[in-house]
Amino acid sequence: MSKIIECSELNYNYHNGSVQTPVLNALNLVVNQSESLAIVGQSGCGKSTLLNLLGGMSQPSAGKVMVNGSDLSQLNEKKITLLRAQYLGFVYQFHHLLKDFSALDNVAMPLLIRGDDTQTALKKSSKILTDIGLQDRLNHKPAELSGGQRQRVAIARALINKPNCLLADEPTGNLDAKSAKEVLGLMMELNQQQKSALILVTHDMSIAKKMDRFLTLENGTLI
């Protein structure tokens, strides 16, 4: 089974002037293709920081992160951006949809940014939104959608490029119980169907236990 993400001896420190606060300490992690993993831990322990490092959005103080065999520390920002677009998808607690664009346009956006033909991008966007039950909401803007529907659109946008790994940071934390259950079920279903890895940060142990495995971030390392 191929490794999608691997990090070794990962360290990260916050700097506030001359004060240095360690967050991650010699952390090691391997995530394989098709695997679902939850990372749990107390608020402020560094879960979101770790996810940002895995996604190449922050740089570690020491150690390295490998994405699909590429060492992020050896790549410039442009190459990291391209690698991220090709192999990773992101879902956050807040959907971050573009408010002036329809669900269809929001999902198509990653394809349009990378230069795909407009009609092809919209066709792919329509298909994935239909696949997740939003065929009647294609032309609705975010303000016209429920919280659960907006998060479904965000998941569709994250998966439109068929990434090797989906990184999800408290994706159900802003939803009611019914919507949270639906969104979680959707991510797990797509994880199985698309054979993409799923790394999910959560504080909810009932969610964590639904993954293939879960790890606790404590004192800067995973246990």
d(CA 148, CA 174): 9
d(CA 146, CA 180): 12
DSSP string, 5-58: EEEEEEEEEEEETTEEEEEEEEEEEEEETT-EEEEE--TTSSHHHHHHHHTTSS
pTM of the model: 0.85
The CATH number linked to 57 is: 3.40.50.300
Taking phi first (over 0 means left), then psi (-120 to 50 degrees means alpha), and beta for anything else, what does residue 168 get?
beta
Q: Is the pLDDT of residue 47 over 70?
A: yes
Mean pLDDT of 35-61: 87
d(CA 40, CA 59): 21
**Tokens in use for 157?**
């946008």
d(CA 72, CA 58): 10
Give the range of the structural domain holding residue 127, as residue numbers without chain letter: 3-222
Give the model confidence (pLDDT) of 200-212 as tens digits.
Answer: 998 888 888 989 9
Mean pLDDT of the chain: 86
Helix axis angle, 103-113 to 147-159, nearest 10°: 20
Neighbours of 23 (CB within 10 A): 18
Overall number of domains in the chain? 1
Give the model confidence (pLDDT) of 128-149 as tens digits.
Answer: 898 878 889 999 999 999 888 8
